[in-house]
């Protein structure tokens, strides 16, 4: 692992792990959730408010910052962390996800990807070398190696081609000079084919990478299939490096994946759902659009210590959401990210006490018991779709 970085596993319970990922900017207690700040901002919150949720590692997107405001402009202002005044660690996505999400506007070949900008239609070229150059300018603590993410329903030969490209691109990324204080994580593809996943894991883990990520999940496959893959692949990821599950997910996804040995997560779901009036709580989802909350003077979650729950009633939050006041999404975003922080803290404690399986079963049962499935709206779609359908616009 590169100087200034370290990973130590302090406790295990089955294959669940409680660890510490140290970077030059922060000590990240794992399992941990990374709030998504695609454009150099976690939507609706100040850096201090994000910090107060317990987050010490957040995610920004290479592709979007490359287009706007431009990597050179960000670098001239000290890198993305100084630009956005984030005092802790930051990871940048390589831009490879846009190979998948913007498929109708790109052309992929063995050398890289030609994009049609979603902003102005300009033709742009993103290669492994360019991705690493941009991530170097952005100054992230962790840079992801450029990969190709095939769709969930891709044929086996298409998935195998994406694996070969991802491996070749990973080698080119690692051969590209970068900042000394920047770790590099490799990405494992393979769809829902466990044999392909394990073969690609061997390829990526053999490289000089500081962490290993599972990509290409939560892109349309059934939830049960994702869990099956995780149960067979995650425990076999390198034990001496962080294990990162990209773009996942719901609270249930986190609880399940932690039980299979995953350390790091990111997803737009808590912030996006907040903008749709949906809160995530220990008792499941709460849809603040519903009329049942109009005269409810209780806290959103009486067991939650976040500023939203400590200050405002469900009735007031319902009013803000229905009136489309901007404070509503802000307060719900603050709560949702605080909840994700509490969820991962509780998971760490359960692992330390050797009670993870019992805690996970009780937590999942409690969340299902009072879950409010609201009327049709963007946040009510399958988490597999809702989580990823717009990471590029988060």
377 classed as catalytic: no
Query: Which positions of the chain have pLDDT values less than 50?
Result: 374-393
Confidence (pLDDT) at 380: 33
Confidence (pLDDT) at 386: 38
Residue 1: inside a domain, yes or no?
no
Same-domain pairing of 321 and 196: no
Count Cα atoms within 13 angstroms, Cβ side, for 112: 17
What would the pLDDT profile of 147-173 be if each residue is shown by its tens digit? 999 988 999 999 999 999 999 999 999
What ranges in the chain are assigned the alpha helix state H? 47-52, 62-67, 71-75, 80-84, 97-101, 128-138, 156-175, 194-205, 223-233, 251-259, 269-275, 307-311, 314-322, 327-352, 356-369, 383-386
The residue annotated as part of the active site, out of 147, 210, 266, 301, is 266
The residue among 272, 295, 312 that closes a domain is: 272
User: For residue 179, what is the domain's CATH number?
Assistant: 3.20.20.105
CA-derived radius of gyration, the chain:
20
**CA 155 to chain centroid:** 26
What is the count of structural domains for the chain?
2
Same-domain pairing of 67 and 157: yes
The residue annotated as part of the active site, out of 13, 93, 263, 301, is 93
Same-domain pairing of 287 and 228: no
Among positive and negative, which fits the CA dihedral 229, 189, 220, 135? positive
Same-domain pairing of 291 and 259: no
Is residue 292 within 8 A of residue 314, CB to CB? The reply is no
The residue among 257, 272, 287 that closes a domain is: 272
- Token digits for 56? 């010490």
Confidence (pLDDT) at 102: 65
C-alpha to C-alpha distance for 213 and 196, rounded to whole angstroms: 15
Burial class (CB in 10 A: 0-12, 13-18, 19+), 257: buried
The residue among 272, 306, 331 that closes a domain is: 272
Confidence (pLDDT) at 390: 37
The pTM (predicted TM-score) of the whole model is 0.94
Residue keyed to tokens 């049609």: 116
For residue 161, which phi and psi values (nearest 5 degrees)? -65, -40
Render 328-385 in DSSP notation, one character per residue.
Answer: HHHHHHHHHHHHHHHHHHHHHHHHHTT-HHHHHHHHHHHHHHT----SS-GGGS-HHH
Same-domain pairing of 245 and 282: no
Confidence (pLDDT) at 105: 67
266 classed as catalytic: yes
- Domain ranges, residue 367: 276-380
Confidence (pLDDT) at 100: 62
Residue 121: inside a domain, yes or no?
yes
């Amino acid at each position: 692992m590169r100087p200034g970085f370290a990973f130590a596993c302090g406790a295990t319970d089955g294959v669940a792990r409680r660890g510490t990922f140290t970077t030059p900017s922060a000590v990240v207690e794992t399992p941990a959730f990374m709030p998504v700040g695609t454009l150099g901002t976690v939507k609706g919150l100040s850096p201090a408010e994000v910090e107060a949720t317990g987050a010490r590692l957040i995610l920004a997107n290479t592709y979007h910052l490359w287009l706007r405001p431009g990597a050179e402009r960000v670098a001239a202002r000290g890198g993305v962390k100084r630009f956005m005044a984030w005092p802790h660690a930051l990871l940048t996505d390589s831009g490879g996800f846009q190979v998948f999400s913007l498929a109708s506007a790109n052309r992929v070949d063995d050398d890289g990807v030609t994009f049609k900008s979603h902003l102005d239609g300009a033709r742009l070229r993103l290669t492994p070398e360019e991705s690493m150059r941009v991530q170097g300018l952005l100054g992230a603590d962790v840079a992801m190696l450029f990969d190709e993410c095939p769709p969930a329903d891709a044929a086996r030969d298409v998935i195998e081609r994406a694996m070969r490209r991802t491996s070749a691109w990973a080698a080119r990324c690692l051969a590209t000079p970068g900042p000394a204080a920047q770790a590099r994580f490799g990405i494992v593809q393979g769809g829902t084919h466990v044999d392909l996943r394990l073969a690609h894991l061997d390829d990526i883990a053999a490289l000089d990478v500081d962490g290993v990520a599972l990509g290409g999940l939560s892109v349309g496959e059934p939830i049960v299939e994702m869990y099956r893959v995780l149960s067979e692949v995650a425990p076999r990821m390198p034990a001496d490096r962080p294990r990162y599950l990209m773009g996942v997910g719901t609270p249930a996804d986190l609880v399940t994946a932690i039980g299979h040995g995953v350390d790091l997560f990111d997803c737009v779901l808590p912030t996006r759902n907040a903008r749709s009036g949906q809160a995530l709580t220990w008792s499941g989802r709460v849809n603040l659009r519903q009329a049942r909350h109009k005269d409810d003077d209780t806290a959103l979650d009486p067991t939650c210590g976040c500023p939203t729950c400590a200050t405002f009633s469900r009735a007031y939050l319902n009013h803000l959401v229905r009136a489309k006041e901007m404070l509503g999404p802000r307060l719900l975003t603050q709560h949702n990210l605080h909840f994700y922080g509490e969820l991962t803290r509780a998971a760490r404690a359960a692992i330390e006490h050797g009670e993870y399986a019992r805690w996970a079963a009780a937590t999942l049962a409690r969340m299902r018991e009072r879950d409010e499935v609201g009327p049709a709206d963007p946040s009510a779609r399958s988490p597999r779709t809702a989580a990823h359908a717009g990471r590029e616009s988060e």
